[in-house]
Chain A
Amino acid sequence: MTIVVQHAAPASHVSLPRPRSSGEGQTAWLAVSPALLLLIVLLFGPAIAVIVFSLTDWQLGSATFHFIGAANFKALFADLAFWTALINTLIYVGVVVPGTVLLGLVTALLIEASPRLRGFYRAVHFLPVMSTMSAMAIVWGTMLHPTIGLVNRLLGTIGISGVNWLRDEHTALLALAAIGIWQSFGFAMVLFVSGLKAIPQQLYDAATVDGADGIFDRFRTVTWPMLGPVTMFIVILSASRAFEVFDSVRVLTQGGPNYASEVLLHRLYTESFDFLRTGYGAALTVIYLSIVVLLTLTQAKFLERRVHYT
């Protein structure tokens, strides 16, 4: 997961006397100025703007605005649609993350177990990661079609009559979660493989000497404990990705039926750009931003710890 650098480090760290041109600082500022300007205009400015918008009643196109304090947030917290979207997003994350991690781990272990067909399996499992979600969501939509869809055809062969997955309040969110797992488990697999490659062979040799040479013994005593940090990292990563679920919802259900598959980012989109409720949308964005920042910080913490270990 780290970049392998192809240059050998200089054997001795004799730092040559740098020609301290008085222009070094100037050159540096010239080099960073475009990036600095754009960071302010396109990243930090907008981030502050979102917070300001969330405290006003401004709407796109209107000439005036008033500061209304926390009124947008009050409206948000009183809105059942918001809570439904938040709970649905948490359910979605709660299904997709374990599914992704478990499938990713099992496939990684099996692919690494022997060299046979390794490249083929890796490529096949990674294809969904590379595919454009909006197009594949349409494909999934036809697969989940109540009468001609593959899923119900297959269930029909074993005598089960499937429901209309995406139009049924009980199954819409779970169907979307299955699509989410389908798209992300190959990525988890690749990360697990790089974690497995980092486990020193000596540990397995030592385990064999200690009599732990069965597949499950080896996994319990060496692989799983050594994969701990990587697993935690993958859990957080797939959680942040699952929080961003939007494409499949927009394409297949638009949050329906009756808000059963409404999620945070889709609410944000609908309020901000369909209804143009800028202040309300901004308040929603602030909540979303806080959640994602928290997740990313947790992830960074784990990454730091891992760097210390290796």
Chain B
Amino acid sequence: MTARSHNRLIGRIARHAILAMTAAFALVPFVWMISLSLKPPEEIFRADFHLWPTAFHGVENYRAALTAAPMFRFLLNGAMVCAAIFALQLLVCIPCAYALAKLRFRGRDTLFAAVLVGLLVPPQALAIPHFVLLYVFGLLNTYASLILPWIISAFGIFLMRQFFRSIPDDVIHAARLDRLSEFEIIWRIMMPMSAPALAAFGIFSVVAHWNDLFWPLIAIRSEELSTPALGILLFRDDEAGQFFGPLMAGAVVIVAPLLLAFLFAQRRFIDGLTITTMK
């Protein structure tokens, strides 16, 4: 064995050793959560620790989590709210992005400047006026209160405009020669052509709103309207949530959908979330 290949081997071992440690740091909470979700209470409090339960208590824990709190309702609420937000965002953003990218009209540059300024405003800073607005219209503690504040996305307009600009004008000219109206061009030609940008924006939007706790905590008071991030907190304050086993089972149910979706489409998720840093 030459000194060089010897060094190689040591380098490779070191690489995997360090990555195993950082991977363990990333994974430990998930492993711990699953482990506890399968154990009876007395085993959780025992002095010695085993990863796999000696007495399997998973069925009871998951049943407690799913029956004491409407877990599936939380997931359904999360899915509905995220879907509604994203659909409305597209409806509002896409025509605007198309006009900014491809049409000439008075005030275009001013509007685009406004969109860029809009990118600067963190959503939490608008919580008080949004709350007041919804209060005035009697919409607090409704699905509408979870959806309405988010249907305008300066970021969505910005991202889609950048993408539309990259589509050659000839495509649009050809469509106009075929007597398509501008709105037909938007929905029938530009939309299908911008699938990658739409996917990126969709992932960004869904991940942000699925995981959001700040706004639902402000807008929602009743359990049946809660999103996953808020629901797990309500469950913790319930009686069943006082036990670690059911509480961890609840946490598994809440985090699983997004993590599974990510594992199925890793590249798309990572690209979608990194594109959003271009702001």
Contact A194 B213 (CB under 8 A): no
CB distance from B86 to the nearest CB of A (A): 15
Identify which of A28-36, A71-79, A218-226 touches chain B: A28-36
Enumerate chain A residues within 8 angstroms of B251, measured Cβ to Cβ: 135-136, 138-139
List the A residue with the shortest CB-CB distance to B29: A139
Interface of A toward B, CB cutoff 8 Å: 1-7, 9-10, 15-16, 18-19, 24-25, 27-32, 34-36, 38-39, 42-47, 49-50, 53, 60, 103, 106-107, 110-111, 113-114, 116-117, 119, 121-136, 138-140, 142-143, 147-148, 150, 153, 182, 185-187, 190-191, 194, 215, 233, 237, 244, 246-247, 250-251, 265, 268-269, 272-273, 278, 281-282, 285, 288-289, 292-293, 296-297, 299-300, 303
B132 touches A135 (CB 8 A): no
In the complex, the answer to whether A132 meets B210 with C-beta atoms within 8 Å is yes
- Interface membership of B275, Cβ < 8 A: yes
**Contact between chains at B254 and A31 (CB < 8 Å):** no
Besides A46-B128, A132-B210, 19 new A-B residue pairs in contact (Cβ under 8 A), listed by A number: A1-B278, A2-B275, A10-B170, A25-B106, A34-B91, A35-B152, A38-B152, A47-B126, A114-B12, A132-B229, A133-B229, A134-B232, A185-B26, A237-B277, A246-B214, A268-B124, A272-B131, A289-B121, A289-B122
Q: How far is the CB of A56 from chain B (nearest CB, A)?
A: 12
A281 to B245: give the CA distance in the assembly, Å: 38
CA A3 to CA B272, docked complex, whole Å:
9
Q: Which of these, A132, A139, A282, contacts B228 with CB under 8 Å?
A: A132
**Is A130's CB under 8 angstroms from B207's CB?**
yes
- Bound complex: CA of A65 vs CA of B154, how far in Å? 32
Point out the residue from A18, A50, A142, A269 that lies within 8 Å of B217, measured CB to CB: A269
B72 within 8 A of A: no
Q: How far is the CA of A18 from the CA of B166 in the complex (A)?
A: 18
**Contacts A32-B96, A111-B19 given: A132-B211 contact, CB under 8 Å?**
yes
A15 touches B169 (CB 8 A): yes
A111 to B30, CA, bound (A): 22
Question: Once the chains are docked, how many angstroms separate the CA of A85 from the CA of B5?
Answer: 54
Q: Which 6 A-B pairs have the closest CB atoms?
A: A46-B129, A35-B96, A28-B105, A31-B95, A38-B152, A28-B103
Question: Which of A9, A111, A128 has the most C-beta atoms of chain B within 10 angstroms of its own C-beta?
Answer: A128
CB-defined contacts of A50 to chain B, threshold 8 Å? 125-126, 128-129
Q: Are B11 and A215 in contact (CB under 8 A)?
A: yes
Q: How far is the CB of B61 from chain A (nearest CB, A)?
A: 13
Answer whether A1 and B168 are a contact pair too, CB < 8 Å, given A31-B186, A47-B126, A289-B122: no
Q: How far is the CA of A126 from the CA of B22 in the complex (A)?
A: 11
Contact status of A47 and B236, CB under 8 A, knowing A24-B104, A130-B269, A139-B33: no
Question: Total interface residues on B, using CB and 8 Å?
Answer: 107
> A18–B274 contact, CB under 8 A?
no
B135's partner among A9, A49, A60 (CB-CB below 8 A) is A60
Residues of B within 8 A of A16 (CB): 169-170, 173
How far is A182 from B27 in the complex, measured between Cα atoms in Å? 10
Q: CB distance B274 to A190 under 8 Å?
A: yes
The residue from A7, A10, A110 contacting B19, defined by CB atoms under 8 A apart: A110
Contact B96–A131 (Cβ < 8 Å):
no
A contact residues around B266 at 8 Å (CB) = 119, 122-123, 126
The number of residue pairs between A and B whose CB atoms lie closer than 8 Å in the complex comes to 300
Cβ-closest chain A residue relative to B236: A138
Main SS of the interface on chain B?
A: helix
What residues of A have a CB within 8 angstroms of the CB of B200 in the complex? 3
Chain B residue numbers with a CB within 8 Å of A113 are: 11, 15
Contact A38 B92 (CB under 8 A): yes
Least CB distance from B98 to A in Å reads 6
Q: Which of B29, B95, B229 contacts A34 (CB 8 A)?
A: B95
Are A31 and B15 within 8 A (Cβ)?
no
Supply 24 A–B pairs (Cβ within 8 Å), ascending by A: A1-B278, A7-B193, A9-B168, A10-B168, A24-B104, A25-B103, A27-B183, A31-B103, A42-B151, A43-B121, A44-B118, A47-B129, A60-B135, A123-B262, A125-B22, A135-B228, A135-B250, A143-B32, A150-B49, A246-B124, A265-B214, A278-B132, A296-B120, A303-B278
A-contacting residues, B171-221, CB 8 Å: 173, 176, 182-183, 186, 193, 196-197, 200, 207, 210-211, 213-214, 217-218
- The 8 A CB mask of B89-117 against A (1 = contact, 0 = none) is 00111011011100111101001001100
Complex formed: what's the CA distance from A104 to B106 in Å?
Answer: 46
Query: Could you tell me the distance in whole angstroms from the C-beta of A98 to the nearest C-beta in chain B?
Result: 16
Q: Closest CB of chain B to A131's CB: distance in Å? A: 5
Write out the residue numbers on chain B whose beta carbons fall within 8 Å of the beta carbon of A117: 16, 19
A272 partner, pick from B105, B128, B193, beta carbons under 8 A: B128
Provided the pairs A25-B104, A150-B32 are in contact, do residues A133 and B274 lie with their beta carbons within 8 angstroms?
no
Inter-chain contacts of A134 with B (CB < 8 A): 211, 213, 229-230, 232-233
**Interface pair A244/B103, CB less than 8 Å apart:** no
State whether the Cβ of B263 lies closer than 8 Å to any Cβ in chain A.
yes
* Other-chain residue from A32, A47, A130 in contact with B121 (beta carbon distance below 8 A): A47
In the complex, which of the residues B119, B173, B247 contacts A296, with contact meaning CB atoms closer than 8 Å? Answer: B119
